[in-house]
Structure 1
Amino acid sequence: MTECDNESNEKLESLDIPFTTRRTLRSSLIKRGSRSRSKASGRKTVSFSSQNSDAKISNVRDCWNYMQTGSELVKLRGINRHFRRFFSLDADLSHIRWTPTNKKPHRARIAINDIREIRLGKNTELLRASEETFTDLQEECLFSIIYGDHYETLDLIATSGDDANIWVTGLMALTSNKYERKPSITQFANLRERWIESVFDEADFLKSGYINEDTAYKTIIQMNSRISPYRLSSKIKRRIQEVRVCRI
């Protein structure tokens, strides 16, 4: 591993952002089980547990993995217009998308490269205007994505401060100046390659450097559930056949 790779990994492991005290959202918009409030406050590194996941989030990669699994957020379109949507980050870290939607799939997504800013709390016109309507919204559950050439706004409400922090941290890691606001194609490729490698390493429980066809299939489906099962199965079989031919 090169010195640059070490530096990059250190950055990924130690993203600092100012976290507020995290509480579960108490609102008619989102009805979930209660949880204890965190007593910690101030400036912290990324280390918290998600309400929707038993796995501890301890670094940026954990945030990305969580975002790729996806979570439910409330999407605000107006003071009286709010919609539950399932948001996820693409396996290649290139887009965030949401479902269900009446829009065409390519319109129900935002390219990471198009994101201009991530705002915490009530920091957009819509969220400030909705303050009187939704009086019980915790500010740490709110965040906004500013994107596109016309600086459009996507206002979101997470189920808890923890969930909001995961999304904000992951998006900041992909878009902030600390990570060179506009990652190059090469940087994205390197991030994607390292992530894929780590996923397959975890799938290799015996650490033998080999996984069988069934494990490979399940691992790839886990990374990208949108891929055609038939096409994936065919590609895996073809690749296995190519490897066998090369060994003859």
Structure 2
Amino acid sequence: MSSRLVNRKGDPQYRRHFLTDNSTFHVERCMGVMQSGTQMVKLKAGSKGLVRLFYLDDHRSCIRWRPSRKSEKAKITIDSLYKVTEGGQSDIFHRHADSSLDPTCCFTVYHGNHMESLDLVTTNAEEARTWITGLRYLMAGISDEDSLAKRQRTHDQWLKQTFEEADKNGDGFLNIEEIYQLLHKLNVNLPRRKVKQMFQEADTDDQQGTLTYEEFSVFYKMMSLRRDLFLLMMAYSDRKDHLTTEELANLLRNEQKMANVTPEYVAEIIDKFERSDENKQRGVIGIEGFTSFMRSPTCDIFNPLHHEVNQDMDQPLCNYFIASSHNTYLTGDQLLSHSKTDMYAWVLQSGCRCVEVDCWDGPDGEPMVQHGYTLTSKIPFKSVIATINKYAFINNQYPVILSIENHCSIQQQKKIAQYLREIFGDKLDVRDALSRDSKTLPSPQSLQGKILIKGRPAVNGP
């Protein structure tokens, strides 16, 4: 099923509302406190937590801390943040429910492709509020930017960070040996002769034999030049280092198969993607601007109309492909990884409409969700259902299907049915529309906001 999925942090109204509630002075104060560093407890499953100094780096691009061991990841980029929640709401906090943690001092930072959680406890509520406000501001600012500007900002931050990490002695320069080591780390396989040639071309100041950050930026551009795009530009520019408005228009018609390419449209491309003010005034685009344009969403093959619902959603449910998740609760592999309710929140907000819930008998008569006959961890069925209820329809109103694999005894199956009715309430679709007498299934349109149960008995279980 097709629908537009909008993350809350990407909502322009959220950005405006956020800035209305917090003055520039207040936000900058938060940034200053975060960059100075705050000592917080980093909660972990099965431990009392680790005291660490967390701080925002100078570029406001990463949260950093000193790890207890070298193999531990000790930074999270702002661009990877998914959301920040207040209080002890995460799965890790639930495991520490018996402790005397003050909810006003607790917050969770969700990040990464698998929505990992960084669960933090401050010494007072003001510190927690400062970090929550600052992180939400940074998230709103990044997601509000034009996609091209966002990529350029991320690239510049990465390039600066790469330069600083390669500068082993911290003198602010990179020599040729440090460049060789950096390229090896980046898996760039260029002949040393070629690297040395580009190094010498970029080394233009009085400090011969080393590159400043600005010179390193020039060196990196030489190294990362897309040969295929350069040759394409040369073919249409009569071997010049730029394309005129007319030459770019010809390229768009012949190579990109675009129709109705007007001079006004080409001028807009040059104005948006060309970085050199001199080239803009001349009405031409150089290799960097041309590369940015060709790699931008403007040249995507994906039809932008499909970001919105564009199909007939009144057909029977079986007429659609449905985005589905297998072993939804797992954070990693199927043998040893953790099970977390957070995974349901993540996949549902990412567009998934069918999630899997593997149910097994648990202690004290409470059914559990886990991957059977493995060493994966368990989570209460009730917590899973509560999470699904909370996140099912935040970004998408089309129905959610629970694919329940039932390994439970009759007694705990009754508990499952009880929780489904109590927690979902009117969202649970229990009509007789799916009975054997029905000729057709209901449509996604008619089932908006509803939760369907697709159950089957276990193949190898009781």
Report the TM-score when normalising by structure 1: 0.51
- Give 2:120's match in structure 1, choosing from 153, 156, 164: 156
Q: 2:171 aligns with which of 224, 228, 231?
A: 231
2:79 is aligned with 1:113:
yes
The one-letter amino acid of 2:97's match is E
**Larger RCO (CA under 8 A, 6+ residues apart):** 1
Equivalent residue runs for 1:64-79 within 5 Å? 64-79=31-46
Q: Hey, what does 1:186 align to over in structure 2?
A: 149
Pair 82,45 (structure 1): closer, same or farther in 2 beyond 3 Å: same
CA deviation profile, 1:52-80 (whole Å, cap 9, x unmatched): xxxxxx42122112111111010001253
Deviation of 1:96 (Å): 0.6
Contact in 1 for aligned 2:43/2:50 (Cα 8 Å): yes
What is the aligned length?
158
Q: What is the percentage of aligned positions where both structures have the same residue?
A: 27
The alignment status of 1:175 with 2:179, answered yes or no, reads no
**Separation in structure 2 between the aligned mates of residue 80 and residue 182 of structure 1, nearest angstrom:** 40
Change (3 A) 1:93 1:230: closer
What is the CA distance between 1:186 and its match in structure 2?
A: 3.4
- After TM superposition, where is structure 1 displaced by more than 2 Å over at least 4 residues in a row? 44-47, 178-190, 227-230
Query: 2-side partners of 1:69 and 1:129: how far apart?
Result: 31
> Given that residues 86 and 100 in structure 1 are in contact (C-alpha distance below 8 angstroms), is that contact kept between their aligned partners in structure 2?
no
SS in 1 for 2:70: coil
**Residue 97 of structure 1: CA displacement?**
1.0
Measured at CA, do residues 166 and 228 of structure 1 come closer, stay the same or move farther in structure 2, by a change above 3 Å? farther
Q: Does 1:128 align with 2:91?
A: no
Return the offset for 1:129. Answer: 2.7
Distance 2:138 2:148 in 1: 12
> For the pair shown, which has the larger CA radius of gyration, 1 or 2?
2
Counterpart of 1:149, as a letter, is N
Q: What is the match of residue 55 of structure 2?
A: 88
CA distance in structure 2 between the partners assigned to 1:60 and 1:45 by the alignment = 6
| CA 129–182 in structure 1, closer or farther in 2 if over 3 Å, else same | farther
| 2:40 alignment partner AA | L
Q: What is the letter of the counterpart of residue 49 of structure 2?
A: H
Tell me if the contact between 2:61 and 2:77 (Cα under 8 Å) persists in the aligned partners: yes
- Structure 1: how far apart are the matches of 2:131 and 2:58? 15
Is the contact made by 1:74 and 1:85 (CA closer than 8 Å) also made in structure 2? Answer: yes
What's 2:66 paired with? 99
The residue type equivalent to 1:150 in the other structure is H
Question: In the alignment, residue 231 of structure 1 is paired with which amino acid?
Answer: D
Residues in 1 aligned to 2:85 and 2:145: alpha-carbon distance in whole angstroms: 18
Distance 1:67 1:179 in 2: 17
Are residue 142 (structure 1) and residue 106 (structure 2) matched? yes
Structure-2 separation of matches of 1:70 and 1:179: 22
**SS of the residue aligned with 1:78?**
coil
Q: Is the 8 A contact 2:86 2:107 kept in 1?
A: yes
- 2:150 and 2:45 map into 1 onto residues whose CA distance is 37
Q: C-alpha displacement at 1:103, in angstroms? A: 3.1
Name the residue aligned to 1:246: none
